[in-house]
Amino acid sequence: MLPELFSIGPFTVYSYGLMTALGIVAAITVGEHEAKRSGVGEDGYILGLGVAAVVGGYVASKLLFWITILPQIIDNPEIILNYLSNGFVVFGGLIGGVLTAYLYCRKKNTDFWKTFDLAAPAVALAQCIGRIGCFLAGCCYGRETESVFGVVFHASSYAPTGVKLFPVQLVSSGLDFLNFVFLFFLWRRAKLKSGMVGAFYIITYSVGRFFLEFFRGDLERGTVGVLSTSQFIAIFTLLIGIVMLFFRQKSSSSDAI
């Protein structure tokens, strides 16, 4: 659609990178505001957490993507150089981000569960904005379709051009926004034990991602049997979210958010 927004001399602003950055900024802004309002952490706590989670998420999403194309890497190791700035698996980013956030909370001696609850809607908002970048760049594209809602890419290094594709990126963005609204409502209004908003995020994202995968057309991300790699992972993250929700509900902690 619009992979490059504009150029100033040798400097080019890419839509995917810009929307990803805007998503991160939006998430940190919302997180910092809610941290101050709720008293979770000191000033700059969420900013530090966000930077750590982004780095951890980037590394993990890149490693998981390389795992999905491992046979190609074994045949031609130099192919890694072609995927230093592109080629990510969102689930890897989420897993890496959560693990990094946990270590960050341990270091700062703060409550991980409350931090996870606070961060959950912010992450959903970042994903909403980031998926718009996917659409503009043409990555994470949908299957071919004859639907009136199909879109045609004319300039993309990723999506097939000249054919109608299901706009799965925009649908994903819309669902991420609804998830943000839902999780933010739980965080602000619902009297839940700490950790439950985070659990709901894992559940809703896993379910949504599992079904959206049926409309994805970028099959080079790998498969596990009849399932895509992300669908296979989504089954386990869904179970983790359900177990987490159950145990946080049964937790003896009296902390409510």
pLDDT in tens, 149-205: 999 998 788 899 999 999 999 999 999 999 999 999 999 988 899 999 999 999 999
Half-sphere exposure of 74 (CA within 13 A, CB side): 5
Whole-angstrom distance, CA of residue 214 vs CA of residue 158:
18
Provide the whole-model pTM. 0.86
pLDDT in tens, 96-114: 999 999 999 999 999 999 9
Taking Cα atoms as reference points, which of 196, 63, 174, 46 lies closest to residue 119? 46
Terminal-residue alpha carbon distance, the chain: 42
Half-sphere exposure of 46 (CA within 13 A, CB side): 26
pLDDT in tens, 109-141: 999 999 999 999 999 999 999 999 999 999 999
pLDDT at residue 43 above 70? yes
Neighbours of 204 (CB within 10 A): 20
Which pLDDT value is given to residue 100?
94
Which pLDDT value is given to residue 85?
61
